[in-house]
């Protein structure tokens, strides 16, 4: 009997799954992708795009072409819930979609709900498409008023690539970076943190470490004021919100096993620990046996094992556990055509050579996607 495999979210893992189904078609399966947009940005090139090194078309993944290639039906919609008992996906605008096997790759959004003013007045880094709309608007305003210096605040210092890319993408900019802990980039080794801190200071980024933002207030004709628990107040034109990520509430509400932030708990087969016919990959998945950073590069790595296990599930074969790479080079874009490369405790100074290496990897990834 025909098996219905439904992919929710056109994330990095699903882009690869579609590419692989296109390369090795499987009979007896009906494939569908539900995602709100035809294009989705490839995160590896996102900092370079913000800094002005790549155009949008160079870093967008064309989900329509990929779906055509994989003979998958593309439904442009937001998923808002699941009826797990009857195996149905609930969409915002279209009728429900039936499934036998489900795979979820929808990423996450920054947590900001509890801070007054954050939802109304700040720009979240995710969804990326919305973030980019605001970013283009800001660039346009900067071009229209070249004399006016813009003050930008970034709340969340886990990933400073955004600050450096923004600095590179607009002239006459002051950046204030707020981080609740005393350290920037807590997931990196202190040697990397030290180098990045020096780079930020040299670029005149105002660092407010150990400052927890507790309110964002809109002032009439005067922009926004950031208020911190310490009493510090800073006025700025725009605020980007890049704090810890959380997941949409509909997953937990549907009854899928999740952690406290709502991320889907998966085993080494990338299978939900509570529902074996549901798979998850990318930022939305929390592998119970590994601590992996939430980054596009890990979502890409999971594409192939996810595809293999979806295929095995359809064919009734046994699944293969995925063992993520735990030692890897992290390549941090510094916004100036250079990259800081580091592996474990060994940071290599920010250099153009690492940029060329990263550029090559990223262009190669994009070149493999089918285009219309």
Ligand X SMILES: Cc1cc2nc3c(=O)[nH]c(=O)nc-3n(C[C@H](O)[C@H](O)[C@H](O)COP(=O)(O)OP(=O)(O)OC[C@H]3O[C@@H](n4cnc5c(N)ncnc54)[C@H](O)[C@@H]3O)c2cc1C
Residues that bind ligand X (CB under 6 A): 8-13, 34-37, 40, 43-44, 46-47, 78-79, 105-107, 125-128, 131, 161-162, 248, 282-284, 294-297, 299
Closer to ligand X by CB, 179 or 225: give it: 179
> At closest approach, how far in Å is the CB of 279 from ligand X?
13
- Run of H or E residues at 153: strand 150-155
Reading the block at residue 96, the tokens are 């429900």
Q: How would you label 227-260 residue by residue, b for 16+ Cβ within 10 Å and e otherwise?
A: bbeeeeebebbbbbbbbebbbbebbbebebbbee
Alpha carbons 103 and 112: distance in angstroms, whole number: 27
> At closest approach, how far in Å is the CB of 34 from ligand X?
5
> At closest approach, how far in Å is the CB of 49 from ligand X?
9
Closer to ligand X by CB, 22 or 296: give it: 296
* Beta-bridge partners for 33: 7, 74
> At closest approach, how far in Å is the CB of 120 from ligand X?
20
> At closest approach, how far in Å is the CB of 81 from ligand X?
9
Closer to ligand X by CB, 8 or 314: give it: 8
The runs of H, that is alpha helices, within 145-234 are: 161-169, 190-202
> DSSP characters for 172-188?
SEEEEEEESSSSSSTTS
* Tally of CB atoms within 10 A around 212: 15
Closer to ligand X by CB, 106 or 319: give it: 106
Closer to ligand X by CB, 161 or 211: give it: 161
Query: Which residue is nearest to ligand X, using beta carbons?
Result: 282
> At closest approach, how far in Å is the CB of 324 from ligand X?
14
Closer to ligand X by CB, 157 or 296: give it: 296
| Residue 364 CB partners (closer than 8 Å, separation 6+) | none
Place of tokens 């390549």: 331
> At closest approach, how far in Å is the CB of 24 from ligand X?
21
The burial class, CB within 10 Å (0-12 / 13-18 / 19+), for 274 is middle
Reading the block at residue 219, the tokens are 């002032």
Closer to ligand X by CB, 265 or 295: give it: 295
Closer to ligand X by CB, 70 or 297: give it: 297
Q: Which of 277, 250, 316 is nearest to 5 (CA)?
A: 277
> At closest approach, how far in Å is the CB of 237 from ligand X?
18
Reading the block at residue 168, the tokens are 């590179």
Torsion of CA 8, 14, 19, 25, to 10 degrees: -50
């Amino acid at each position: 009997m025909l098996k219905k495999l439904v992919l929710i979210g056109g994330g990095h893992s699903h882009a690869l799954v579609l590419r692989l189904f296109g390369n090795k078609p499987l009979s007896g399966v009906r494939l569908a992708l539900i995602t709100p947009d035809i294009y989705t940005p490839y995160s590896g090139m996102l900092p370079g795009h913000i800094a002005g090194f790549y155009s949008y078309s160079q870093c967008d993944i064309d989900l329509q072409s990929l779906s055509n290639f994989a003979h998958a039906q593309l439904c442009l919609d937001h998923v808002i819930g699941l009826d797990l008992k009857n195996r149905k996906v609930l969409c915002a605008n279209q009728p429900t979609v039936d499934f036998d096997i489900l795979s979820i790759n929808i990423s996450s959004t920054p947590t900001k709900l509890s801070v007054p003013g954050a939802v109304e007045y700040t720009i979240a880094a995710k969804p990326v498409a919305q973030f980019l709309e605001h970013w283009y608007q800001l660039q346009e305003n900067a071009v229209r008023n070249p004399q006016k210096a813009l003050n930008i605040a970034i709340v969340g210092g886990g990933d400073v690539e955004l600050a450096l890319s923004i600095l590179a993408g607009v002239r006459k900019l002051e950046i204030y970076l707020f981080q609740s802990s005393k350290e920037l980039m807590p997931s990196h080794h202190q040697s990397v943190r030290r180098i990045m801190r020096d780079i930020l200071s040299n670029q005149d980024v105002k660092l407010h470490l150990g400052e927890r933002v507790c309110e964002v207030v809109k002032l009439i004709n005067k922009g926004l004021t950031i208020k911190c628990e310490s009493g510090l107040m800073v006025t700025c034109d725009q605020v980007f919100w890049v704090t810890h990520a959380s997941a949409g509430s509909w997953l937990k509400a549907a009854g899928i096993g999740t952690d406290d932030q709502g991320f889907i708990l998966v085993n080494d087969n990338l299978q939900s620990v509570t529902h074996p016919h549901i798979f998850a990959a990318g930022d939305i998945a929390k592998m119970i046996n590994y601590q992996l950073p939430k980054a596009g590069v890990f979502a890409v790595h999971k594409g192939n094992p996810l595809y293999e296990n979806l295929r095995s599930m359809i064919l009734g074969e046994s699944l293969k556990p995925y063992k993520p790479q735990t030692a890897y080079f992290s390549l941090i874009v510094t916004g100036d055509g250079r990259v800081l490369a580091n592996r474990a405790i060994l940071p290599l100074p920010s250099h153009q050579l690492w940029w060329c290496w990263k550029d090559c990897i990223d262009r190669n990834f994009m070149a493999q996607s089918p285009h219309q």
